[in-house]
Amino acid sequence: MAEKLVIIGNGMAPGRMLEELFEKAPGHFDVTIFNAEPRVNYDRIMLSPVLSGEKAYEDIVIHNDDWYAAHGVTLYKGARVTEIDRHAKTVTSANGISVAYDKLVIATGSLPFIIPVPGHQLPGVLPYRDLDDVDAMLRIAEGKGRAIVIGAGLLGLEAAYGLKQQGMDVTVIHLMPTIMERQLDPAAAYLLEKALTERGIDIITKANTKQILGTEKVEGIELEDGRVIAGDMVIMAVGIRPASSLAKEAGIAVNRGIVVDDGMMTSDPHVFALGECAEHRGTCYGLVAPLYEAARVLADRLTGGTSEYHGSVVNTKLKVTGINLFSAGDFAEGPDREEIVLRDAAAGIYKRLVLKDNKILGAVLYGETGDGSWFFDLMKRGTDISEMRDTLIFGQSYQGGTPLDPMAAVAALPDDAEICGCNGVCKGKITTTISSKGLTSLDDVRAHTKASASCGSCTGLVEQLMALTLGDGYNPAAVTPMCSCTELGHDDVRRLIKAKGLKTIPAVMQELEWKTSCGCAKCRPALNYYLVSDWPDEYADDYQSRYINERVHANIQKDGTYSVVPRMWGGVTNAAELRAIADVVDKFEIPMVKVTGGQRIDLLGIEKEDLPAVWADLGKAGFVSGQAYAKGLRTVKTCVGSDWCRFGTQDSTGLGIRIEKFMWGSWTPAKLKLAVSGCPRNCAEATCKDIGVICVDSGFEIHFAGAAGLDIKGTDVLGLVKTEDEALEHIVALTQMYREQGRYLERIYKWAKRIGHDEIRRQIIEDADKRRSYYDRFVLSQKFAQVDPWSERVSGKDKHEFKPMATIQYNHAAE
């Protein structure tokens, strides 16, 4: 019979412990978790990107509900434990749930310290510890105004940066002469303060808070020197204390935290403590890496092992976009210590190593932190550095007097060298997992090891380990930069455009430090799409940043002529339209007319100078472009459906035309082809399209993520809906989700594989609020969708939005 394991708390440390436990002994325990928060386990390290707008809550979930279900875990959300009965071996929550245990793990974390100055209980005075705190900050930030952060430690500065990104004015108040004094020496603190000031954050040091001002809510603060600073929110970021009262009330030994031995056992042999609430050898740890080390030991002990935790040496990184900072160890001055310092003022680089007896005691790196992991490993091992003393400060690649291949430097790291400090993942764990599980992408490595899954600063090292382990089998496509103009990939560029509020191509290139002055033919179209998609009501589409086909509204052919495809809604035409096409063919002596696979007529062999006149004549007949060139909706192929076919179950032609007219003009990451088949015989070939609909007696079966080009792939079923209105809403919401998350030129089937088909179904089929939100954003963006500049008639768009074809400038050099 399985042992009963009860865990109080559902933070990152117990989450990691359970992962180790399920890997070592699946089925050994019947696990119950009490979580005071009303949600699943999430990555608290990434609260700062959530606050700044760079990530959403969904992006930082570690274990979703499906994970708990798959491992048979009973999770009580919003259930704060109020009593531990050690004699009866039960725990009881405030909402009356009582559960018996064989073994108990207390992981109650820590509590933020609130300075008890007058006014500290006013609405608007907030700590910064969990998602509820972040949500409260974001609500106040909607009104802009000013935020005051008390405390310029790690969390305080991350909170300040996040609120600044939300559009607030921010002032940081700090008692000490320099910021982050526990992690930085004065020189590094000066550089950091300068960088934050340049980002618009006001910092006041040597300042003590006298009182918080306000009557019904926060209105500002008064300092001891009499200065008054108006504000709408006060963030207390002045420290934490272990949440140990529950254990103390149960008679378990408590000092500052819950006292544990090297096996994480408390004074009760059936009770263990883990995380920020635990005190080991007189130390309570507040960073995640040591908590993960302890979690591994506890998982081993619970399954009969003898592992011991001997304490940790920790390092610090600041999660502020564009600031590279690393700190580890003891860097105080002393008579028996020496230091090595490197400064590059022009580049904003500062490095300092503190040595004693030819061993590294501490390291502070600012501006260039790539060697942080190596210095940290030398420090933890107590390595004698005397033979590399003269070149040590230049980093691992320069040992021996000449630069080494970076891959050789990574290969030289020992297996237990820490690569990912956020998640406590060592080199050996990464390389072993890559080999044993056949991992080939960065996303796979993140999913299986957690390395690079949090702040991302170790991504380069992880990629090098992948290349080292896989050799020629490594496919870096998922982490390739957009182009040679930048080191950033598509996902990072898109995330930073939103987070930084960048709304022009020059702004993107300046703020994201493009290597070229104007970009290239590869990155400019991608940036143009991301800006159109993210800021449809503010960004003016830059036609000169589009490919030649999109600029001239025709497809260039191998002989230099062009083909024109007039749009036929749902593949339906009439005599007047056909006559207009025939007239254009005669007038311009177009050498070939072809019916396409998308049920349209293609006019091939048109000279470039004739394109405006061709479209002028077609426009008189009411034609708009079929956009056979577009990174957007191209066709909605239909069969004749129930109006004509004896097998038809629904009006597939009518639905196809409705979808096409509703979605026409919407830019997407890559071309988008749809089809609607009137019955399961599937004459419109809906099951190999990006999005397809199969009409059945009971409604409409929606398919997605098919391909019939270089890759041949059948669609997957998204879901079944009953009405045309529902079908339209689901298809539009799916398209918008793809528009917001897809990388430029990434087809929908590749995006779906990356995101996960089940996740897409969850958001589009199961979550009605999320689906409607996507739908509404698509409708909003259609007000500013692409238009045909020659058109006299476009349904749903105002004529004043168009410009005559003659005003389009063709850039021959860009072809």
Distances (CA, A) of 469 to 408, 412, 423, 438, 562: 12, 13, 21, 10, 48
Residue 790: pLDDT over 60: no
Question: What number is the average pLDDT over the span 664-692?
Answer: 93
In tens, the pLDDT along 130-187 reads: 999 999 999 999 999 999 999 999 999 999 999 999 999 999 999 999 999 988 888 8
* Residue 650, amino acid: Q
Question: What number is the average pLDDT over the span 351-370?
Answer: 91
Alpha-carbon torsion, ordered 802, 807, 812, 815, to 10 deg: 0
Query: According to the model, what pLDDT value does residue 793 have?
Result: 34
**CB distance 73 to 31 below 8 Å:** yes
Gyration radius (Cα) of the chain, Å: 31
Query: According to the model, what pLDDT value does residue 812 have?
Result: 28
Tell whether 347 is covered by a domain. no
Average pLDDT of the chain, as a whole number = 88
Answer yes or no: do 418 and 497 share one domain: no
Domains of the chain: total: 5
Which residue among 238, 259, 291 closes a domain? 238
Query: According to the model, what pLDDT value does residue 811 have?
Result: 30
Answer yes or no: do 496 and 409 share one domain: no
In tens, the pLDDT along 467-522 reads: 888 887 776 654 578 888 888 888 889 888 887 888 888 888 878 888 877 788 88
Tell whether 800 is covered by a domain. no
Answer yes or no: do 425 and 439 share one domain: yes
User: Which one is predicted more confidently, 236 or 559?
Assistant: 236
Which residue among 212, 238, 264 closes a domain? 238
Query: According to the model, what pLDDT value does residue 797 have?
Result: 35
Answer yes or no: do 23 and 53 share one domain: yes
Answer yes or no: do 462 and 506 share one domain: no
**Long-range contacts: 499-508, Cβ < 8 Å, 24+?**
499/49, 499/52, 499/53, 499/54, 499/165, 499/321, 500/165, 500/321, 501/165, 501/167, 502/531, 503/531, 503/535, 503/538, 503/539, 504/531, 504/539, 505/531, 505/542, 505/545
How, if at all, do strands 125-126 and 233-236 pair? parallel
Residue 601: pLDDT over 70: yes
Q: How many CA atoms lie within 13 A of 609 on its CB side?
A: 0
Looking at the whole model, is its pTM more than 0.85?
no
Answer yes or no: do 149 and 211 share one domain: yes
Tell whether 626 is covered by a domain. no
CATH of the domain at 697: 3.30.413.10
Tell whether 624 is covered by a domain. no
Which residue among 200, 218, 238 closes a domain? 238
Tell whether 699 is covered by a domain. yes
Range(s) of the domain holding residue 425: 405-479
Query: According to the model, what pLDDT value does residue 105 have?
Result: 98
Tell whether 485 is covered by a domain. no
**Of the candidates 289, 319, 284, 314, the residue with the CA atom closest to the CA atom of residue 153:** 319
Tell whether 438 is covered by a domain. yes
Answer yes or no: do 178 and 250 share one domain: no
Answer yes or no: do 541 and 415 share one domain: no
Answer yes or no: do 422 and 446 share one domain: yes
Residue 72: pLDDT over 60: yes
CATH of the domain at 80: 3.50.50.60
Q: From start to end of 19-164, where are the E strands?
A: 29-35, 41-42, 61-63, 74-77, 81-85, 90-93, 98-100, 103-106, 110-112, 125-126, 146-150
113: Cβ–Cβ under 8 A, 6 or more apart, which residues?
Answer: 236, 238, 239, 240, 241
Tell whether 561 is covered by a domain. no
Answer yes or no: do 182 and 34 share one domain: no
Residue 390: pLDDT over 90: no
Answer yes or no: do 230 and 252 share one domain: no
Question: What number is the average pLDDT over the span 611-620?
Answer: 90
Residue 776: pLDDT over 80: yes
Answer yes or no: do 33 and 59 share one domain: yes
DSSP 8-state secondary structure symbol assigned to residue 608: G
**CB distance 40 to 322 below 8 Å:** no
In tens, the pLDDT along 22-62 reads: 999 999 999 999 999 999 999 998 899 899 888 889 889 99
User: Which two three-digit tokens encode residue 124?
Assistant: 């608007």
Question: What number is the average pLDDT over the span 312-319?
Answer: 82
CATH of the domain at 458: 1.10.10.1100
